Amino acid sequence: MANGKETKVLENEGYLSDESDFYGDPETKASFEDRAADFDATAYWKSHQPTLTEKADANVAQALANPESKATLYNPYAGQACAWQLDESIEDFLRRLPPRTTEITQSTPWIFVTNPFRKAPKGIAVNDEAPPGDHTDWARCVTEGNRLLDELITIRNTIEKENSKKSTVAIDRMINKEKEVIVQKILDTAIDCGCTSGKVCIVSRLCCCTGCFSFLPLCLVSK
């Protein structure tokens, strides 16, 4: 390749200098040179299917050229003191409602945090479950979930009956293996039914050790 000092690339000759060449024996180089001479770059780009990288680059360029309009944010717990507010930073929210020390009261049975990008109805009561989505099917989720739990009970009883002479550790290992399968099926069912919101209880070690359960930190996250 030219080093930019001794040889200059002439206009319309591309980026390859006269010093550029194909590697290989004379026959191989002649074959490559024939292919290069016959290659129609214009026709190639007209029929070429863009790669994922090229598509991503194009999307980024389009996004930079046309900034997205401001997203619509939702908060079904707007105005409720026990919930995170859209105009509240994470630092301010945790300072106002620290999970470790916030006491359970009638107005603060849980600490609520909702996904602001998930469309949800307004005015959800603080003692209700997380707001349902547009395509939530709780009935099917509960029915299928209970069926899977019953299936796990049947599997457990069968394993214990068929392996009564084995140690408890061995039996538990077999049951846990089947339990993992059922748990994954329940999770898949919840996702399929759009039921991925619920209460999460985070128990502080200090609370457990001292018995100060009036300070039990509770949190509901709506995904």
Domain that holds residue 91: 71-118
Residue 123 maps to a domain: no
Residue 68 confidence (pLDDT): 56
Instruction: Report yes or no on 22 lying in a domain.
Output: no
| DSSP 8-class letter at 213 | G
- For strand 111-114 and strand 198-201, is the pairing parallel, antiparallel, or unpaired? unpaired
- Whole-structure pTM value: 0.42
CA–CA dist 66, 134 (Å, integer) = 29
Mind listing the pLDDT tens digit for each residue in 79-93? 888 999 999 998 999
Q: Using the structure block, give the residue that is written with the tokens 């919930």.
A: 83
Domain assignment present for 209: no
If asked whether residues 114 and 139 sit together in one domain, one would say: no
pLDDT digits 0-9 by tens, 150-174: 999 999 999 999 999 999 999 999 9
Position 186 in a domain: yes
What is the average per-residue pLDDT within 8-35? 69
Is the model's pLDDT at 117 over the cut of 70?
Answer: yes
Residue type, 205: R
Which tens digits make up the pLDDT trace of 43-101?
Answer: 877 777 777 777 777 766 676 666 555 678 888 888 888 999 999 998 999 999 998 89
CA distances from 210 to 100, 149, 203, 213 (A): 13, 35, 12, 8
Domain count for the chain: 2
